Amino acid sequence: MLKYITSIFAILVCSVSFSQEDATTETAVVNDTVPQLETFPLRIGIDLSKPLRMALEDDYQGFEIAADFRLTKKFYIAIELGNEKKTVDETQLNFTTEGSFAKLGFDFNAYENWFGMQNAIIVGMRYGYSTHKQTLNRYTIYQTNQHVEGESLLTQEPGTEFTSLNGHWIEVVAGIKAEVFDNVYMGFTVRLNRLLSTKEPENFQNLFIPGFNKVTTDNNVGAGFNYTISYSIPIYKKGKKKKVEVEDEIKE
């Protein structure tokens, strides 16, 4: 009899023990907030295509600084400043254009970065403005009938300098930027430009505009590119709260 009582007591003790363990063990799913800091940097660099052109072309000089600053997750404000000097030597005309330009606009990053990355596949727009001067070095009068003497449409003497010229245009931009070393980025963009307006010299015209490129008499659309190396400078960091589901065993 004592044996049966002892067995029943042992079974009851084990049952109570397991019941208490199940009651004190729960699986909880909580919403935790894990702070993450996103960096908003300023990237500043130079256009390497212009020094390359200087090495390959004797009649060209140029320099450009390019910078962008992250405003939101996808949008960046962009600015480019520079100057160019270009001598165009054609059969009937030789002139030199020299001046400065500025471009201001935005880039949209279509690339989905991992957290902490700043690589980009960009599309964007720029508004461009230049202020420059042109020097008419020489010109040759073209006549279809060599037996008829006609008055030249160019009344200026060779060496005449035209100052206070300018140009306004817009650009559509597409390209990439990638981090090659810590905080060092390489980028390449192509540009499609459309001239909006220009102040031309009297009895002459703007045939080259710094920052825009070559201008033709029957077309106000141009194209260009740049190849940049830049350094990223963290300006500030903004916290981002991310909801995380956490499973935990609580044992008392």
Q: Domain extents for the chain?
A: 34-239
State the average pLDDT over residues 92-116: 92
Amino acid symbol at 177? K
- Using the predicted structure, report yes or no on whether residue 17 has a pLDDT greater than 80: no
**What is the per-residue pLDDT across 177-229, written as a single tens digit (0 to 9) for each?**
999 999 999 999 999 999 999 998 877 788 899 999 888 777 788 899 999 99
Angstrom distance (rounded) from CA 50 to CA 147? 46
CA dihedral of residues 91, 101, 216, 168 (deg, nearest 10):
-150
Angstrom distance (rounded) from CA 100 to CA 50? 14
- With bands split at pLDDT 50, 70 and 90, how would you rate the model's confidence at 240? low
pLDDT averaged over every residue in the chain: 80
Of all residues in the chain, the percent with pLDDT exceeding 70 is 74
CATH topology of domain 34-239: Porin (2.40.160)
- With bands split at pLDDT 50, 70 and 90, how would you rate the model's confidence at 143? low
Q: What is the 3-state secondary structure (H, E, C) of 94-154?
A: EEEEEEEEEEEEEEEECCCCCCCCCCEEEEEEEEEEEEEEEEEEEECCCCCCCCCCCCCCC
- Using the predicted structure, report yes or no on whether residue 128 has a pLDDT greater than 80: yes
